[in-house]
Amino acid sequence: MTPPLFTIDAILKATGGRTEGIEAEAINSISIDSRELGPDALFVAIKGDRFDGHDFVDAALANGAVAALVSEGRGSGPGRIVVPDALGGLRDLARAARARSRAFIVGVTGSVGKTTTKEALRVVFEAAGETHASIKSFNNHWGVPLMLARMPETAQFGIFEMGMNALDEIRPLSQMVRPHVAVITAIAPAHLERLGSLENIARAKAEIFDGLEPGGTALVNADHAQIGDLIAASAAAKVNSLLTFGFARGTDWQIVNPQSAADRSFATVLHGDRQYALALGVSGRHMLSNATAALATAHIAGIEPDVAIRALAGFGAQPGRGLRKTLGPAAKPLLLIDESYNANTASMVAALDVFSAIDAPGGRKILVLGDMLELGEQADNLHAGLAEAVRMSGAERVHLVGKHMAALAAALPGGLVASHAETVGNGEDVIVADLAYGDAIMVKGSNGVGLARIVNAITARFEKS
């Protein structure tokens, strides 16, 4: 019989809380959204930027939650577990889940590729045993404890993504997760607005080392200028084992002979005197790098390389991160590449490189590019700096969205820019009206720009022939 996620007694012991009219003896899921409740759910009433969960406690209990974790002084009534602070209580549950677990734990961070790498790790570890992994991009001060608290006691592997916007944000997350392997995917110009320099970004990402379990391993991408900063940070954190991966010569897991087709990637990965043939169902050098991180982590965890290689062969792009949709008639479809979830200069260049290898099914190659956010004073220069990559992509028409994309528009040949709008709302109709079956279109921008709305509009318009 599968044990419950937590008994009510275990919750009280972990949080120091008290009950008010609790009839249930255990919970089997945890949620912070009253509209999305799993079986025998505990609803945690955290206060977010836009909503306060305490306003939805009654709705959660009415929708099937068996209990609600609430802050002291924020209402009373049956079905409640009262703690000093609901978010603090969630963190207490996360620590309790970690303390009882015998799983092999991996933490993942980086400026680009962390969610894709987390998904590659999930695919590999699921082939080897019961695996618990973060969903979506739940990687912040509430997302990480929520994901950790949800980890079943029976899990053999746990994979947790950690993000940040400033210094001193990843450290407490890593100290809560206590990974056996800490993966850093890359250092790139993201969050410059608050951090100011690549060196500070490297410092912030290196905080993941401070939570490593004794004897744990740091696994870092070597294909960026801040690799020396990460090596120094690992030494300062007294990490005994640091391994590197990437295309750079001399890495512990070196990628050689990379090849990409329209929807496939191939490479050889060298490790010591062994070499592994890596084949993925998705295109791009960056995807080969993410998969190599998963292969190396699996090796550290004791998973046979053949198991990892077979699992990675079925690994594909995720929604908002390169997922491809073929819409309309088979003879002449519209090819839509959805990269709408995230963007910085490194991921933009990588996506444009993938787009360069793609042929339109029978029409034109079209780009929709949205602002890269949180780049601070360097934003306009970094947007303008994309011009060469856009030209090399083979795009015949480019639609731009966001105020900083004005800098890219000025750097591109005038005939290439089909439109520029400061908001999605102002650009959506123009973009959709410009498309036709046979075109290949890639949509790429930071999530905050809202380009998912354009992806949805294109899908609705063209998915039926």
115 is in an annotated binding site: yes
Q: Which regions of the chain are under pLDDT 70? A: 1, 465
110 is in an annotated binding site: yes
Single-letter residue type at 455:
V
109 is in an annotated binding site: no
111 is in an annotated binding site: yes
Global confidence as pTM: 0.88
How does pLDDT run across 296-316, given as a tens digit for each residue? 999 999 999 999 999 999 888
The pLDDT of residue 465 is: 57
The pLDDT of residue 1 is: 66
C-alpha atoms less than 13 angstroms from C-alpha of 177 in its C-beta half-sphere: 41
List, in order of start, the domains of the chain with CATH numbers: 6-85 (3.40.1390.10), 101-313 (3.40.1190.10), 323-462 (3.90.190.20)
116 is in an annotated binding site: yes
The pLDDT of residue 224 is: 94
112 is in an annotated binding site: yes
The pLDDT of residue 433 is: 96
In which region does residue 25 sit, left (phi positive, over 0), alpha (psi from -120 to 50) or beta (all else)?
alpha
What angle, rounded to 10 degrees, do the helices at 114-126 and 305-313 form? 120
246 is in an annotated binding site: no
